[in-house]
Amino acid sequence: MALCYAFCMTARILDGIKIRDEIFAELKMEVTQLAAQGVRPGLAAALVGENPASQMYVKSKVAACEQLGMASWLHTPAANSTTEYLLQLVDDLNRDDNVDGILVQLPLPAQVDSKRVLEAVSPAKDVDGFHPVNMGMLVSNRPGLVACTPAGCMEILRRNHIAIEGANAVVLGRSDIVGKPMALLLLHANATVTICHSKSRDLPEIIRGADILVAAIGRAGFVHADWIKPSAAVIDVGTNKVTDRAQAERLLINFPQRLEKFSAKGSVLIGDVHPDAVNTAAALTPVPGGVGPMTITMLMSNTVKAARLRRLSGKLHTTSVAR
């Protein structure tokens, strides 16, 4: 096996960090242009309680706003906040004309009705793209704000000149946040789309037929390298933290340097696609450094877009569908 990997071709790496930097440069220019028209895009984040992971995510989003010259506001309600309190906060942000995007960081505490809070966000300020109105707009291929991770996956494909029209695309995963909107975006780009999941029959054969595979199932190394055909482009959405030594050794047997880092740190991030796929696919997003950086990038893009649509055109349905 080791000899095989020494001579196999290595996939072209689809670098999400590089694309993030390209889009950030474009967004900086657009923010400058909007400022000349008296508009400064602004994102308001609500972080309930003191979840360390959530604090880190929100901090990175606020930092991205600062980097782009956008306004940002951080609201930190107590962990014992009620649904009614958060609904009032969202209502206040909906009414604030300086706020273009509203981000309610998940998860919310158990006593809060998350669905009610998220659905209270104005669709025009729903920069996460989760609101049923924006989901419905995507289904009917009408303008709206699109969920950030799928939108970022589309940017990776387009900016790497991977042919989408006419391609057989397989989306592994059916979540409202990634799988379903991803399938719709590919369908609207004229791909032939199959949605599958862990219960689908003959999964290996379905995936072997994919020109484009988007893996978003949340299981480390679930997609075996030999399920992927040599001409396929693989978008690995998974970011799974592996802490078990035996599992890490199984997944990283052909990557001694990564295994060495696991030994030093005690954990490693593994995508939904087995790391060995780098030797079978034609193109592949790395984990980390692939899809991850694109999620915050598209959140910033959605906020700028919402500012432009809401404050300059005044109507969300006046421009083309979000990428």
Catalytic residues: 61, 105, 128
CB atoms within 10 A of CB 155: 20
The Cα 139–Cα 32 span in angstroms is 33
The Cα 20–Cα 291 span in angstroms is 10
What's phi and psi for 72, nearest 5 deg? -150, 150
The 3-state DSSP class for residue 249 equals helix
What's phi and psi for 210, nearest 5 deg? -85, 130
The Cα 213–Cα 167 span in angstroms is 10
> Alpha-carbon Rg of the chain, whole angstroms?
20
CB atoms within 10 A of CB 176: 11
The Cα 6–Cα 140 span in angstroms is 48
Q: Residue 249 corresponds to which tokens in the numbers above?
A: 């050794």
Query: Which residues, listed in sequence order, are joined to residue 283 by a DSSP beta bridge?
Result: 12, 233
The Cα 10–Cα 234 span in angstroms is 13
The 3-state DSSP class for residue 136 equals helix
Q: Residue 76 corresponds to which tokens in the numbers above?
A: 């930190």
